[in-house]
Copies of this chain bind each other. A is one copy, B any other.
Amino acid sequence: MVVDQLSRSPEKDVALDRLFQALADATRRDIVARVTAGEYSVSGLAALYTMSFAAVQKHVAVLERASLVTKEKRGREQIVRGNHDGLQKARHLLDHFEMIWRQRASRIADILAEDDERDLP
């Protein structure tokens, strides 16, 4: 029962938990797509969906905690915008996974190549 996780820094882990958790809902992904392309107030977003205003408000709060969007007060409205950095963090981890995969794939290729060399005359 080794406790070592491959990933160090539990703080980052929590940030990643929130990031992926936030993206694990179709409505929230829809919100991210919309506010990445333009600006919306919370009520402007709420008008787009059949669920209640409070529900949309909660979704925006989840996205904000995950650093995927930012809110800024403008008069009595709260303007929601996409946060580029949050998206990049998620991409970076997936890129990292893919890098590991490619390294493994090339290692396998190397082994096969060695076999080929052995088979050569």
Contacts A6-B30, A21-B21, A26-B16; A97 near B104 (Cβ below 8 A): no
Verify B20–A7 contact, CB threshold 8 A.
no
Count identical subunits in the complex: 2
Q: Let me know if B101 and A84 touch, CB within 8 A.
A: yes
In chain A, positions 89-114 with a C-beta closer than 8 Å to chain B are 90-91, 93-95, 97-98, 100-101, 103-104
Interface residues of A, dominant DSSP: helix
A120 at the interface (CB under 8 A from B): no
B98 touches A87 (CB 8 A): yes
CA distance A1 to B46 in the complex (A): 8
Q: Which residues of B contact A1 (CB under 8 A)?
A: 47-50
Given A29-B16, A36-B104; A94-B87 close (CB under 8 Å)? yes
